[in-house]
A and B are shown apart, each in its own frame.
Chain A
Amino acid sequence: MFILNEFQINKMNSQLPIKQTFTKESLKKQFRLSEFLAEKVISSIAFLSIAVIFLIFIFVFKESLPLFNFGKSDKAKTEIQASNVGKPESYGAGAEELKPESYGSEATKELKPETYGSEPTEELKPETYGSEPASNEDLKPESYGDTPKEDLTVPATDETTTVSESKEEGKTWNTFLSIEWVPVSDNPRYGLIALLIGTLKVTIIAMLIAGPLAVLAALFTSCFASKRTKEIIKPVIEMLAAFPSVVIGFFALMVLASFFQNVFGYDSRLNAFIGGVAMALAAIPIIYTISEDALASVPKTYTEASLALGASKWQTAFFVVLPAATPGIFAALLLGVGRVFGETMIALMATGNAALISANPFESVRTFAATIGSEMAETVFGETHYSVLFFIGSLLFIFSFALNAIAEFYVKGKLLKKFQGN
């Protein structure tokens, strides 16, 4: 506004400025600080969303780093916790809370997780935390505060503990492949296989229900429904996406579970099947919306050409529109899988949460997400269990990231080729 006024005033003052104003000089883009700042601020805020993705990965992965530390530092911690000895100084010092698993020397590591393999820092460790068991006398199960500083200040060295710890460290990794998930016991076992099977079971059941239903519904909406019906169906089904997952979980827990138990008469009231049905409800709107978009974006000429050749409406829909939209529908299914895989509240409430391994869909299961959700509150900051849960979190994150990337690049590339390549 301000600049505009100035310009106007200039114009008024000089009678014939027009020809002179548009010289090469004046047409050059003027540098304005406010403009420059606005653009910079806006694009740096836009950068934030990229940064958030990185931060999520770094910070979720960071908490699981102790597991990769074959230098056994975290193990020392677990042992401390197992024997109920924690650090006396506790909460206060925030410095160490920044780098929870960093015993002394690894401070640099924390800042750049990608360098965690660096050996020199690792080598310093044995002396430092051998000292731990010696230094704690207090009973403090919530050992929030073990400071790196503290570790360095206590110079005691204890080689034997270090050795036993390193053995245990290997054990944590071995138990990942076992089939038992017993995180809280004298001999904790973190059998990720059991959780993986549980998660897959629920995902398969949910996708078997949600996939066909949602795709068929999308096909009806985009190919057969009249414009008026379409305007009713679409918002109503998308309304299902507005149902909070805790509400769907609650419904499954209270209503579906009893209903299906009466129908099928199985033993465990909450099981993979109930969880799968409930999660299908959560996945349907996603799959529906994206496949409907994909079907609607098939060029009109395809449909018209097919109809002109004498094919009927359903033949066009089934043999022309559906194949043309396959990549989009594939993307929709992938994102549906991502949703089900990471769904927490429904899994917590409706799957029974017992890590059993069986092919029977009517047995209780425990999923990755539900494990994090239910056990994180009970774990002690910094112990192995805590790190394992964060490790599961990073796995989930990587998985959903990969699914999204596939859906995005592979599918989009294919679609573009299909519709524009010829």
Chain B
Amino acid sequence: MDKVLNESESQFFSGKKSASEIKGKIFMGITQLAVILIIAVLFIILGIIVYEGKSKFSWEFISTFPTNGMTEGGIFPALIGTFILVIVMSIAAVPFGTITALYLTEYASEKSKFAAAVRFSVRTLAVVPSIIFGLFGLGFFIQFVGAGADTVFNGGELRWGQPNILWASLTMSLLTLPVIIVSVEESLKTIPREMREASLALGATKWQTIRKVVLPESISGIMTGTILAVSRGAGEVAPILFTGAAYYLATLPGSLSDQFMNLGYHIYIMSTQSSDVEKTMPIQFATTLVLLVLTLSLNVVAVIIRSRIRRKAK
């Protein structure tokens, strides 16, 4: 036996237990250290933002307009703008995401080339840099669809062919589409096959089965997807940089063709282009805190729902 083993293998199985044990301890320690480091950094970020932001954080802060050249006051319009953005985004993205997921799990056969292409596209959509979506929104929605709509319906008057909340939301919905598809697909897969088969055996057609059996069962998955998408959409800034976000608006957006303020964009311009970065520091931290609380709490809710789905599946 010894002859068969080469050198490294004999070392591998040799009785030098103590040395190898020490090596193992060190190695395990290093991996453990990596985990601790990552988690520590996460909590440091959280801690610093909470610590710096809490002094300014109040009901007044989130319910008033910015005043005095954005060096004082609250973030009300940015918050409302973000809400409108994610609502319009969800209206666009959730049906499409759900239906795509339905196709992938219910209709597509295992070996379908088309389904493989759809899957690949969805994964590609998930990794395309967010700034590219911004460019696409500008090139497609604004310059092509918007300007085209202006020519056809508006007699050439510029209304839709410029950055506005609708185009920003649609751009964002493309970005969040994969998030929804992946979570709905995951929840659809946890529905036992027996339920579908029972429905089919009773004489229901495929579409009836989907509508009356599969969809009601996957509501929680759709919710998870929506929440995750909203959390993602609320935090992304790059896609709306040139598709609708505004530096400052004195009024709330009144229609979909208006520009809007956005929390993330607000943080960006306040910290890089504000007239007095030092003075507005508390506002910036408080805005960041609001955004972080928003996205993280949404994520926690989604994680809880998702773990429930998984537990149910087991």
Q: Do A and B bind each other?
A: yes
Residues of A participating in the B interface, judged by any CB pair closer than 8 Å: 1, 3-4, 7, 32, 34-35, 38-39, 41-43, 45-50, 52-53, 55-56, 59-60, 62-63, 91-95, 97-98, 100, 212-214, 216-217, 219-221, 223-225, 233, 235-240, 242-251, 253-255, 281, 284, 288, 309-315, 317-319, 335, 338-339, 341-345, 348-349, 369, 372-373, 376-377, 381, 389-390, 393, 396-397, 400-401, 403-405, 408
Q: Which residue of B lies closest to A8 (CB)?
A: B203
| Residue from A3, A7, A220 within 8 A of B34 (CB atoms) | A220
Say whether B237 contacts A220, CB under 8 Å. no
Known A63-B143, A243-B45; 8 more pairs at CB < 8 Å? A45-B100, A53-B125, A60-B139, A91-B161, A242-B231, A244-B235, A319-B12, A342-B131
Say whether A377 contacts B242, CB under 8 Å. yes
Binds A, one of B19-27, B61-69, B186-194: B19-27
Q: Which residue of B lies closest to A229 (CB)?
A: B35
Say whether A216 contacts B30, CB under 8 Å. yes
In order of increasing CB-CB distance, the 8 nearest A-B pairs are A342-B129, A244-B235, A94-B151, A314-B24, A97-B147, A220-B31, A46-B103, A216-B34
Say whether A43 contacts B268, CB under 8 Å. no
**Known A35-B205, A216-B34, A224-B31; contact A246-B268, beta-carbon cutoff 8 A:** yes
Q: Say if the beta carbon of B259 comes within 8 Å of chain A.
A: no
Q: Which residue of B lies closest to A60 (CB)?
A: B135
Say whether A43 contacts B114, CB under 8 Å. yes
Say whether B28 contacts A314, CB under 8 Å. yes
Say whether B129 contacts A344, CB under 8 Å. yes
Nearest Cβ on chain B to A270's Cβ, whole angstroms: 10
- Chain B residues near A214 (CB, 8 Å)? 34, 38
Residue pairs across A and B with Cβ atoms less than 8 A apart, 25 shown, are A4-B203, A42-B99, A45-B103, A49-B121, A50-B121, A97-B147, A97-B148, A97-B150, A98-B151, A100-B143, A220-B35, A238-B303, A239-B42, A242-B235, A243-B296, A246-B264, A254-B284, A313-B28, A317-B27, A372-B134, A390-B139, A396-B132, A404-B123, A404-B127, A405-B120
Binds A, one of B71-79, B217-225, B250-258, B287-295: B287-295
- Chain B residues near A63 (CB, 8 Å)? 135, 138-139, 143
> Which one of B129, B272, B299 has the greatest number of beta carbons of chain A within 10 Å?
B129
Nearest Cβ on chain B to A275's Cβ, whole angstroms: 14
> Which one of B25, B203, B231 has the greatest number of beta carbons of chain A within 10 Å?
B203
Nearest Cβ on chain A to B93's Cβ, whole angstroms: 11
Q: Say if the beta carbon of B88 comes within 8 Å of chain A.
A: no
The answer for the CA separation of A217 and B40 in the assembled complex, in Å, is 13
Say whether B267 contacts A247, CB under 8 Å. yes
Nearest Cβ on chain B to A66's Cβ, whole angstroms: 13
Chain B facing A: main interface SS = helix
Say whether A246 contacts B237, CB under 8 Å. yes
**Known A94-B151, A311-B12, A376-B242; contact A46-B99, beta-carbon cutoff 8 A:** yes
> Which one of A52, A238, A315 has the greatest number of beta carbons of chain B within 10 Å?
A52
Interface string of B95-109 (1 = CB under 8 A from A): 010011011101110
Say whether B151 contacts A34, CB under 8 Å. no
Q: Which residue of B lies closest to A386 (CB)?
A: B138
| Residue from B31, B106, B139, B238 within 8 A of A345 (CB atoms) | B238
**Known A213-B38, A245-B235, A397-B132; contact A254-B127, beta-carbon cutoff 8 A:** no
Nearest Cβ on chain A to B19's Cβ, whole angstroms: 12
Nearest Cβ on chain B to A148's Cβ, whole angstroms: 13
Nearest Cβ on chain A to B110's Cβ, whole angstroms: 15
Say whether B139 contacts A46, CB under 8 Å. no
Say whether B132 contacts A235, CB under 8 Å. no
Q: Which residue of B lies closest to A46 (CB)?
A: B103
| Residue from B124, B203, B271 within 8 A of A401 (CB atoms) | B124
- Chain B residues near A55 (CB, 8 Å)? 136, 140
The answer for the CA separation of A237 and B106 in the assembled complex, in Å, is 33
- Chain A residues near B28 (CB, 8 Å)? 220, 224, 313-314
The total of Cβ contacts below 8 Å across the A-B interface reads 312
The answer for the CA separation of A404 and B122 in the assembled complex, in Å, is 11
Say whether B48 contacts A60, CB under 8 Å. no
Q: Say if the beta carbon of B6 comes within 8 Å of chain A.
A: no
Q: Say if the beta carbon of B281 comes within 8 Å of chain A.
A: yes
- Chain A residues near B136 (CB, 8 Å)? 55-56, 59-60
Q: Which residue of A lies closest to B287 (CB)?
A: A250
Say whether A253 contacts B24, CB under 8 Å. no
Say whether A49 contacts B100, CB under 8 Å. yes
Say whether B23 contacts A372, CB under 8 Å. no
Q: Say if the beta carbon of B279 comes within 8 Å of chain A.
A: no
> Which one of A243, A288, A311, A369 has the greatest number of beta carbons of chain B within 10 Å?
A243
- Chain A residues near B272 (CB, 8 Å)? 253, 348-349
Nearest Cβ on chain A to B299's Cβ, whole angstroms: 4
**Known A46-B118, A53-B125; contact A315-B24, beta-carbon cutoff 8 A:** yes
Say whether B127 contacts A3, CB under 8 Å. no
Q: Which residue of A lies closest to B155 (CB)?
A: A92
Q: Which residue of B lies closest to A249 (CB)?
A: B268
The answer for the CA separation of A343 and B131 in the assembled complex, in Å, is 8
Say whether A244 contacts B234, CB under 8 Å. yes
Q: Say if the beta carbon of B308 comes within 8 Å of chain A.
A: no
Say whether A98 contacts B124, CB under 8 Å. no
Q: Say if the beta carbon of B128 comes within 8 Å of chain A.
A: yes
| Residue from B39, B114, B267 within 8 A of A246 (CB atoms) | B267
Within 8 A of A (CB), among B45-66: 45, 48-49
Q: Which residue of B lies closest to A36 (CB)?
A: B207
Q: Say if the beta carbon of B70 comes within 8 Å of chain A.
A: no
Within 8 A of A (CB), among B199-251: 202-208, 210, 212, 231, 234-238, 241-242
Say whether B151 contacts A95, CB under 8 Å. yes
Q: Which residue of A lies closest to B307 (CB)?
A: A235
The answer for the CA separation of A39 and B114 in the assembled complex, in Å, is 14
Say whether B127 contacts A312, CB under 8 Å. no
Nearest Cβ on chain A to B247's Cβ, whole angstroms: 10
| Residue from A92, A97, A247 within 8 A of B235 (CB atoms) | A247
Q: Say if the beta carbon of B166 comes within 8 Å of chain A.
A: no
**Known A42-B99, A45-B100, A216-B30; contact A315-B129, beta-carbon cutoff 8 A:** no
- Chain A residues near B48 (CB, 8 Å)? 251, 255
Say whether A393 contacts B281, CB under 8 Å. no
Say whether A349 contacts B268, CB under 8 Å. yes
Say whether A239 contacts B131, CB under 8 Å. no
- Chain B residues near A245 (CB, 8 Å)? 130, 235-238
